[in-house]
């Protein structure tokens, strides 16, 4: 009976070693669901390194969308933000709002924004 027990123990150990070898023996990078497209085919060059040269931030122009003038206040919509005379938008000071233009002071320089098309007055 001792011979049969030894064979059973050794066969369990052999099966365990075989399973571990199969499980850990396969490469971990066989399939990576998070890899970018083309990674498996070798189309991506990994030798360039991940560090890129710093790029200059793009200077975004101010886009004037709307001007609203009431007897008591003047406001305009620039880049989606409502601004009033004397207020700031990012690094620009809103100096003057007139019927078709808005005058900004950006880093000490004067910039005039103009509505592209003259809009008809809306009557209420």
Tell me the whole-structure pTM to 2 decimals: 0.47
Q: Write out the two tokens for 54.
A: 């710093």
Number of structural domains the chain divides into: 1
> Is residue 47 very low, low, confident or very high in pLDDT (cuts 50, 70, 90)?
low
Q: Is residue 95 part of a domain?
A: yes
Looking at residue 101, what is its pLDDT? Answer: 92
Q: Is residue 105 part of a domain?
A: yes
- Structural domain including 88 reads 64-114
Q: Is residue 85 part of a domain?
A: yes
Task: Reply yes or no on whether the pLDDT at 2 is more than 50.
Answer: yes
Task: Reply yes or no on whether the pLDDT at 68 is more than 80.
Answer: yes
> Is residue 50 very low, low, confident or very high in pLDDT (cuts 50, 70, 90)?
low
Q: Is residue 107 part of a domain?
A: yes
> Is residue 12 very low, low, confident or very high in pLDDT (cuts 50, 70, 90)?
confident
Q: Is residue 38 part of a domain?
A: no
Q: Is residue 25 part of a domain?
A: no
Q: Is residue 77 part of a domain?
A: yes
């Amino acid at each position: 009976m001792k011979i049969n027990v030894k064979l059973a123990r050794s066969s369990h150990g052999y099966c365990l070693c075989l399973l571990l070898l199969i499980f850990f023996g396969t490469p971990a990078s066989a399939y990576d669901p998070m890899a970018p497209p083309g990674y498996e085919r070798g189309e991506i060059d990994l030798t360039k390194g991940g560090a890129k040269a710093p790029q200059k931030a793009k200077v975004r122009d101010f886009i004037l969308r709307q001007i609203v003038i009431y007897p008591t206040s003047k406001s305009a919509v620039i880049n989606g933000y409502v601004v009033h005379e004397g207020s700031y938008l990012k690094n620009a000071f809103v100096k003057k709002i007139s019927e078709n233009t808005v005058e900004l002071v950006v880093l000490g320089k004067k910039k005039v924004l103009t509505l592209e098309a003259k809009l008809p007055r809306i009557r209420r």
